[in-house]
Amino acid sequence: MTDAEFRSGFICFVGRPNTGKSTLTNAMVGQKIAITSSRPQTTRHTIRGIVHREHAQLILVDTPGLHRPRTLLGQRLNDLVRDTYSEVDLIAICIPADEKIGPGDRWIVQQIRQMAPKTTVVGVVTKIDKVGKQAVAEQLLAVSQLLGPEAEVVPVSAVKGEQVELLVDLIASKMPEGPAFYPDGELTDEPEETLMAELIREAALEGVRDELPHSLAVVIEEVLPREEQEGMLDVHAILYVERPSQKAIIIGKGGSRLKEVGTAARKQIEHILGTRIYLHLHVKVAKDWQRDPKQLGRLGF
């Protein structure tokens, strides 16, 4: 690329839940801006990560995993994904190296072909650090057959940083020529409160049973300067669950689990804000909020 050929555009990572999309977003941006968890359906908002390179700016739209919805929340998350597909310059389909291609992957490819037939598609084989070279080669071939001869396929390990720059270069080469959309150094256009809520959610989801991820929402009530300590912020957050039994799981025996959640989230939030905070967490029950349009609206969906 010559100096005149600055390229910029919007990219969407898609794939089944838990295929490494958020980890890849963070690796390309160079800082944690999308929450990651071993739980499927962790991502709830389209977080935009901004990748700055000398000759390109890539805006990564990290959507929730497209899935067959079972609740109103699931339907709204899917609508969010569909809206995104039609507005981006490139769709990167993420398929992990350690799992065989299944009906879920084929369904997603079919959805993309229907909703965004003209959008450039790239295949990304993620988590290559989990398998041997032979398995990676076989998966590359399988993904290539799934996507067709026009689509290029790149193997990466976001955790180890392997081939991440190669993927950045490939995507950049497929962007239209154009100016930067964001100033240098800006990593996301998400409001700080959304990032804080997501980081608290991530900490609360660590090590809990399967029933909880979908049922947990976090709302930042207020952020205030701490009067007696200059440069410190008081952050008040409410964790909403659907049932009293879930409230007990989050709080833990004698409040021990909630304390752990607060400590883990506080470190991450302080790192992103660059300032010290005092985190106040409260857990409330909002019965069956995922199926209630009024409550969904109140919780930001």
* Candidate CATH numbers 3.40.50.720, 3.30.300.20, 3.40.190.10, 3.30.750.24; the one for domain 192-299: 3.30.300.20
Distance (Å) of CA 212 to CA 99, 137, 217:
24, 36, 10
The rounded mean pLDDT for the chain is 83
Return the pLDDT at 301: 67
Average pLDDT over residues 151-163: 94
Query: Strands across the sheet with 276-285, in order?
Result: 217-225, 232-241, 276-285
Q: What DSSP string runs through 173-236?
A: HTSPB---SS-TT--B-S-HHHHHHHHHHHHHHTT--TTSGGG-EEEEEEEEE-TTSTTEEEEE
Return the pLDDT at 102: 92
Is 126 flagged in the annotation as binding? yes
Is 66 flagged in the annotation as binding? yes
Is 128 flagged in the annotation as binding? yes
Q: Look at residue 246 and tell me whether its pLDDT is greater than 60.
A: yes
Q: How would you classify the pairing of strands 90-96 and 120-126?
A: parallel
Q: Look at residue 256 and tell me whether its pLDDT is greater than 60.
A: yes
Return the pLDDT at 164: 94
CA 301 to CA 229: how far, in whole Å? 35
Rama region for 148: left / alpha / beta (φ>0; ψ in -120 to 50; rest):
left
In three-state secondary structure terms, 73 is helix
Return the pLDDT at 64: 60
Is 160 flagged in the annotation as binding? no
Q: Residue for token digits 């049922």?
A: 215
Return the pLDDT at 294: 79
Contact of 8 with 89, CB cutoff 8 Å: no
Contact of 201 with 174, CB cutoff 8 Å: no
Average pLDDT over residues 253-259: 91
Is 65 flagged in the annotation as binding? yes
Contact of 108 with 101, CB cutoff 8 Å: no
Q: Look at residue 132 and tell me whether its pLDDT is greater than 90.
A: yes
Average pLDDT over residues 151-157: 96
Return the pLDDT at 131: 94
- Burial of residue 297 (number of CB atoms within 10 Å: 0-12, 13-18, 19+): exposed
Contact of 89 with 176, CB cutoff 8 Å: yes
Return the pLDDT at 262: 92
Return the pLDDT at 38: 46
Q: Look at residue 270 and tell me whether its pLDDT is greater than 90.
A: no
Distance (Å) of CA 77 to CA 21, 43, 63, 82:
16, 9, 8, 9
Return the pLDDT at 210: 57
Is 274 flagged in the annotation as binding? no
Is 63 flagged in the annotation as binding? yes
Return the pLDDT at 99: 94
* Candidate CATH numbers 3.40.50.300, 2.40.50.140, 3.40.50.280, 3.50.50.60; the one for domain 7-174: 3.40.50.300
State the amino acid at position 170 in one-letter form: L
Return the pLDDT at 63: 66
Contact of 102 with 73, CB cutoff 8 Å: no
Q: What DSSP string runs through 108-124?
A: HHHHHHHH-TTSEEEEE
Tokens of 284: 């409330």
State the amino acid at position 77 in one-letter form: L
Domains of the chain by residue range? 7-174, 192-299
Is 129 flagged in the annotation as binding? yes
Is 19 flagged in the annotation as binding? yes
In the chain, the percentage of residues whose pLDDT exceeds 90 is: 34
Check residue 160 and report its DSSP letter. Answer: T
Summarize pLDDT for 25-59 with one digit per residue, the tens. Answer: 889 988 665 655 544 444 445 556 889 999 999 99
Is 20 flagged in the annotation as binding? yes
Q: Report the predicted TM-score, pTM, of the whole model to 2 decimal places.
A: 0.60
Tell which wins on pLDDT, 79 or 219: 219
Return the pLDDT at 67: 61
pLDDT band, very low/low/confident/very high, at 127 (cuts 50, 70, 90): very high
Tell which wins on pLDDT, 186 or 292: 292
Summarize pLDDT for 62-95 with one digit per residue, the tens. Answer: 666 566 667 777 777 777 777 777 788 999 999 9
CA 90 to CA 100: how far, in whole Å? 24
Return the pLDDT at 212: 66
Average pLDDT over residues 276-294: 86
Return the pLDDT at 1: 44
CA 204 to CA 99: how far, in whole Å? 27
Average pLDDT over residues 291-298: 76
Q: What are φ and ψ of residue 87, in 5° steps?
A: -110, 0
Contact of 126 with 93, CB cutoff 8 Å: no
CA 259 to CA 239: how far, in whole Å? 13
